[in-house]
Amino acid sequence: MKVFGRTTRSALSHAPDNWYAIDWRRVERNVRGMQIRIAKATREGDWRRVKALQRMLTRTLSAKLYAVRRVTQNQGARTAGVDRELWDSPESRWEAVGRLKRRGYKPLPLRRVFIPKANGKERPLGIPTMRDRAMQALYLLALEPVSESMSDLNSYGFRLNRSTADAMSQIRVCMSQEASAKWVLEADIKGCFDHISHDWLETNVPMDTGILRKWLKAGLIYQGQLRATEAGTPQGGIISPTLANVTLNGLERELAVHLGAKLGIMKARRLKVNVVRYADDFVITGDSKEILDQEVRPWVEAFLAVRGLQLSEEKTRITHIDDGFDFLGWNFRKYSGKMLIKPSKKNAKAFYSKVAETISSNKTVKQEEMIRLLNPMLRGWAQYHHPVTAKKAYTRMEHLVFRRLWWWSKRRHPRKSSSWVRQKYFHSIDARQWVFAVRTVRDDGSWGLMELYQLSGTAIRRHKKIQGEFNPFDPKWEQYGEQLRQTRLWDSMRYRKQWAKLYMSQSGLCAHCGCALTDETGWHDHHLEYRMHGGSDKLSNRVLLHPHCHQQVHVGKLVVTKPVLS
C-alpha cells in the first residue's frame, strides 16, 4: 500500500466556500460513485432508475464543480464563445458553479470558426460559451456511463482509455493471419457531425431530452448572422463526440445479429465480417468482395439512413488486403502473405508540410528556440507511429528535416562557408554525425548540448490492445483499468525520463490530492523547496501535481511532502 504525503492544511469536511477550499478527492469520489450506479442500472436495463440517477447526479455540487474544472483546465479554456466570457480566475469559476441550473437555462448560439484540415479543406467548429460548455460537461458525466455500457466492443474513438492504436491492433488481429479476411470495406460517412438527425437523437439518446433539444436548436452565429441548426451536432462541443458515438453504437452488434439471422450463426462467422470503428471512421472486413458489396454495404446504408446519415460515394470503396488501405494515418497491406502496417504516405506528407512550414516561418529565431519548436512535433509524430513498422519512415523523415534545417542554417549566413555553418549548427554526439544541436546551460548550471529529437532512435514497441469488454464504470474492471492507465501514461512519459521517474514513485497519483494523474487532467512539476529559496532541481525536491492542485498549493501556501512508500 502506498501512503501519500498530505498538505499541512486539512481539507474542509463541510461544503467549500471558495474555489481553493475544494477537496477534489472527495469530488471525484462522489461523482464516480454515482456514475458506477448509473452504469449498473444500464446493464440491468432499469431505465427508470437510470433516468432518476442521472437527474440526481446533474444536481449535485460535486458534479457541477467537476464540470467547471474540466472546461477551465483544458486547452479550449482560452477560447470564448459569442458572449466573449472566460472563466480565468478562481472567483469567476466559483461563481459559475452556481449558474449551472436546469431551471431557466437557455443556451446561446455557437460561434462558428473554421480550422484547416490535412487535405487543404477547412473543418467547421461550433464554439459554445463557457456556461454552455460547463452544462455539456455536467450532463456528459451522466451520459458517459450509459454510452460506455452500450458501446460496441470494437469502437475506439472518444472513449476512456481507448485510442487509435487499439483500433489498429484490432485490424491486425482480424487480418494478419493466412486464413484471415482478405477484403475490407473502407467506409466514409458524409459530414457525420453535420447531418445527424435531431429527431433520432432526441428519441434515442438516454439523457434529459429538454436540455438536449435546446443544445441542438441553439443555432450558430457566422459573419454576424444567426443561422438555424436543423440537423447535426456541431464539432467543438464537449458532448458532441459522445453523441456521435451513441448515434453509431450498434453498427457492429446489430450487423452481427442481422447476418446471423439471415445466414445462420455458423455461416455468418465463416464470412469473417468484423467492424472496427474510430468515431465516425470505420472499416468492415469480409472473406469476399461479394458479401461486402451485396450484403454488408446495403445494410450499413440502411442503418445510417435512419439516423440521417449516408456514405460518401467517392470515398467509400472495397479493397483487397494485397492492394492495401489507409486508416487513421496508417497503411495496412500484405506483402507475399505477410501483413505490414506503416505510416501512410498521406500522413507523412502532411506532417512534413507542417514541419517545413514551421521552419520556413521562423527564419530568424535562435537555434535553441527552433529546437524547442520542432521537438514536440517530432516526438509526437514518432510516438504515434511507434507501434507499427516505421523505421524506414523515421529515417526518410529525418533526412527530409535535415535538408530543411541545412537550408535554414545556410540562409542565415550567406557569406560563410559550408564547413563554418556545419561547425556552428551541427555537432557529433557519440557515433552520430551532423546532429542539429546547440550548447546551452542546464538547470544545474553546467554546459550541455540541446539536440533535435532523433526520429530514427525511436524504439518500435508493439501496442497491447485494450480488452473489448472493458467498462471503466464497472467495479470488476477497476484493477485492470488502473494498470492500463498507469502503463499507457508511463509510455507517453517514456521520453521525459525525469517525469516518468516521478510518476512511478507516486504510483501515478497527485502528491497533493491523491487522485489519478491522467492525460486529460495533465500535470505540473512542483518544487517542494522553491527554487527562489534555494531549492534544487533534483528529483528528491520535486513532485507531480494536477494543474489545479498546483495552483491551490501556491495560493494557499500549503506544504506538500514526498510520497512515503510502506
pLDDT value, residue 540 = 83
Strands laid side by side in the 274-278 sheet? 274-278, 281-286, 183-188, 317-320
pLDDT per residue as tens, the chain (566 positions): 333 444 433 333 467 888 988 988 899 999 999 999 999 999 999 999 999 999 999 999 999 999 999 999 887 788 888 999 999 899 999 999 999 999 999 999 999 888 877 666 777 888 999 999 999 999 999 999 999 999 999 999 999 899 999 999 999 999 999 999 999 999 989 888 889 999 999 999 999 999 999 999 999 998 888 888 888 887 788 999 999 999 999 999 999 999 999 889 888 899 999 999 999 999 999 999 999 999 999 999 999 999 999 999 888 999 999 999 999 999 999 999 999 999 999 999 999 999 999 999 999 999 999 999 999 999 999 999 999 999 999 999 999 999 999 999 999 999 999 999 999 999 999 889 999 999 887 666 667 889 999 999 999 999 999 999 999 999 999 999 988 888 887 777 665 777 778 888 888 889 888 888 887 788 888 888 887 667 777 888 888 998 888 888 888 778 888 876 54
The amino acid occupying position 77 is A
Q: What cell does 146 get? A: 450509459
pLDDT value, residue 12 = 38
pLDDT value, residue 10 = 37
Beta 220-222 vs 110-116: how paired, if at all?
Answer: parallel
**pTM score above 0.85:** yes
- φ, ψ of residue 433 in degrees (nearest 5): -110, 160
The residue ranges of every structural domain in the chain are: 15-149+210-219, 151-196+231-343, 345-457, 475-556
Architecture of 151-196+231-343 per CATH?
A: 2-Layer Sandwich (3.30)
Q: Look at residue 290 and give its three-state secondary structure.
A: helix
What is d(CA 379, CA 381) in angstroms, rounded to the nearest whole number?
Answer: 6
* Domain 475-556: top CATH class: alpha beta
DSSP 520-541: TT--EEEESS-GGGT---SGGG
Cell 479476411 belongs to residue: 181
- Contact by Cβ (8 Å): 562, 5: yes
What is d(CA 376, CA 452) in angstroms, rounded to the nearest whole number?
Answer: 10
What is d(CA 319, CA 316) in angstroms, rounded to the nearest whole number?
Answer: 10
pLDDT value, residue 494 = 64
Residue 70: closest CA among 97, 49, 43? 97
Q: How far is CA 535 from CA 448, 548, 554, 558, in A?
A: 21, 22, 15, 16
- Contact by Cβ (8 Å): 502, 510: no
